[in-house]
Structure 1
């Protein structure tokens, strides 16, 4: 059958000669530390264990009465001294939580704020004659006090007044640039089709004599010469038909040459074409083309 008593020892221990009743065992586990178990359980009283019992709301007098009521031996004097010593120090320092505080050297002003019913949402509490604790964030506390007609200033952790600077204007974030693919861009279907037509036209140009349309026939060895409008029209027509064109071209150094090209695209004052002379796709400024003539069969 569970026991309702222990044997208190002068060395700040208690011996339970057998299983204890649940309420007694639970209280002893708070008031003392279990030192050993076996046929008899040994409990040791320490300042930490006594403080733990006081933290549950028990007083020193209640602890003395509990020990006297559940011990078959008198309460040893060292244990009574331990309980009284810990109880005397217990609670002299208090620790709590506060989101913000209000500090003022004028305690009358603090009492006025505390008595103002508009401050109730801040849950203010007087910690000292010159300090109020609030259950609100500092920014909320500042705004509320200003709404109430006061002029509080923010304070840093070191007690210095926090100065408000001008609001900064940040540049809106920029989106990351699209990655540049390695190598030249992949040609589209239109460009590939035009390139095939240009190659076929080049094969034709290799076996066909170059001759501009009448009446603007150009002597052999001379550059073809046409007006800008005729040159543009010839290029645009060749883009549609896929025909090769014989052009005269003057480069940036002033060197003149004749070329056989298959126009692919004409836009923005430039013609992109397959150049049979260079065997590659090139882009030429139209203002450097002296003339253009379709390649005709004799």
Structure 2
């Protein structure tokens, strides 16, 4: 029996539990009891998995709402910068934009989460003196207040959703532990049931590995002998004999030439020696041409 671990996934736990339940359909009273004990744990684990998935989906939705609310808040800060620039165009001596945003509006919107909310307090303090005389700045501050409230609500909803996702995941882990505990208990009781042959208990639990059929390799086939191009099979045995005979005749002719040369050098009559040498040379040429 393969003993499951905490790190094994939910699908692995359900697969082992399902196999055990199916195998216990056949058997005696103990098998029926073990199946009845596993069925509610299996169904509970499936329900806990669905709850965890739903909670995770809601957490993703909450995160998207946070990003959306933060975008709205940043756009309101940009609108305040535009309103301050409009006032400066009417009266450059006021330097409203530089007063409200001494480092530019980017320094006030680059933060995330609660840090973004903390940056709004000094921004509101710097802009409030100009809101009385300039309606555009007052309207921008009102929009910032509304966006800030929505952003706070989105952050709180995200915290709640993340907490719910963590809770359902912890419950799912507890459901896995219950399945593992039931499998271990069933394994021990089945081994006690099969006292003479305790190994029979293994058949009611899913094993770790699966058997695979061995691949049957094909034996290499020896290539058939190739036929010499331009010749028929069986005729090639005559070619070596013919070539050997030609080489023998050529060697004999060369010996005749050598003997004639020696004789021509020793004889006093040069004409007769040269004649024999010429005849021998013609013989060698004819043999070579025939070969």
Same fold (TM over 0.5): no
The structure with the greater share of residues assigned to helix is 2
Q: Does 1 or 2 have the higher relative contact order (CA < 8 Å, sep 6+)? A: 2
